[in-house]
Amino acid sequence: MSVILGSGEHRYRVVEDWAKLPDGWSFRDVAAVATDSRDNVYVFNRGEHPMMVFDRDGNFLRSWGEGLFRRAHGLHIGADDRLYCTDDGDHTVRVCDGDGKVHLTIGVPGKPTPYMSGEPFHRCTHTALSPNGDIYVSDGYGNSCVHKYAPDGRLLKTWGGPGTDPGQFNIVHNICCDADGWVYVADRENHRVQVFGGDGAYETQWNNLHRPCGLFMCAGRHQHCYIGELGPGMPVNRNMPNLGPRISIVTHEGKLVARLGGEEGPGLTAGKFQAPHGIAVDGRGDIYVGEVAYTNWPSTYPDKPVPAHVRTLQKLVKVS
């Protein structure tokens, strides 16, 4: 029997073993996932083949990125099907076509800027595009800011800093834009999503989240935002219910409309999550969830060895 998550108009059937990998291949951690205009699925992962491409039925098409990426972290696909690949281990954002040709590199490969300097990049995490093609980069683990670039890679503006006040961040982990140019930032360890104007002016924040990690805004105006939330990261609350890991669906104004999973904590069975790190929604409303389960395992189960195989990608098919 298939596992169904959610309720009402937000019901999803979990598809197990969706991706048909070549023999002997594995994802390890799936840091990010994105879909192009044909609903092909790009899986940015920390295995031997960093970028794997599948059709919507899970059939393997190709791979690339071997020897190029150091540590996959974020992935965004623009309307022209170019990929914005954020590598937090290499401190770069590379803009590639669907076959892996690099057209633009932002940042100096292998050379982080000083810790918390505010200068790009120190372990950048994700990218987003404004309606006019400006590039926003969340930065990240060794910085606490957002950088805005012109489409040609010229730095236009930086905002943010470490802290808990509006406009400050504690691990700025993900970023997305909507069709009106608002910028949404997953401020992970402050347990919120902050909302800014296109030039960095603070507008509001969404609370009642737990370590928001993945972030995806559907195309068009007044669309829903999908948020992957990490579960507890400390032994003292590790088994506490209703803290995730889970997927939350909210309106563009931050109103919660659905939550998928997370009531009973992490798990390895279908429909449960370990560490939802990257999210994408295709043209039919199906959700792809990438998880960094191997990286997250020691904090979730510090007294248990990592199993030989941990699921790091799930597809949730929208039930009409």
Window from 136-140, 149-153, 243-247, 299-303 with minimum mean pLDDT: 299-303
Residues 298, 319: Cα–Cα separation, whole Å = 34
The predicted model gives 245-259 an average pLDDT of 95
CB atoms within 10 A of CB 253: 10
At residue 256, the pLDDT reads: 96
User: Does 230 have pLDDT greater than 90?
Assistant: yes
φ, ψ (nearest 5 deg) of residue 59: -75, 130
Q: 153-159, long-range: CB within 8 Å, 24+ apart, which pairs?
A: 153/104, 153/105, 153/106, 155/120, 157/199, 157/200, 158/118, 158/119, 158/120, 159/196, 159/200
Count Cβ atoms within 10 A of the Cβ of residue 149 and give its class: 0-12 exposed, 13-18 middle, 19 or more buried: buried
Tens digits of residue pLDDT in 8-35? 899 999 998 899 999 999 998 999 999 9
At residue 239, the pLDDT reads: 82
User: Does 190 have pLDDT greater than 80?
Assistant: yes
What's the total number of domains in the chain?
1
Task: Check residues 268 and 48 and name the one with the higher pLDDT.
Answer: 48
At residue 313, the pLDDT reads: 96
User: Does 264 have pLDDT greater than 90?
Assistant: no
The CATH number for 253's domain is 2.120.10.30
pLDDT band for 290, please (50, 70, 90 cuts): very high
At residue 1, the pLDDT reads: 66
Q: For the chain, how big is the Rg over CA atoms in Å?
A: 18
At residue 115, the pLDDT reads: 98
User: Does 267 have pLDDT greater than 90?
Assistant: no
User: Does 240 have pLDDT greater than 90?
Assistant: no
Residues 133, 57: Cα–Cα separation, whole Å = 30
Per the structure, the complete domain to which residue 114 belongs is given by: 4-318
At residue 56, the pLDDT reads: 95
As a whole-number percent, the residues of the chain with pLDDT over 90 amount to 84
Tens digits of residue pLDDT in 123-181? 999 999 999 999 999 999 999 999 999 999 999 999 999 999 999 999 999 999 999 99
User: Does 40 have pLDDT greater than 90?
Assistant: yes
Mean pLDDT over each residue of the chain, to the nearest integer: 95
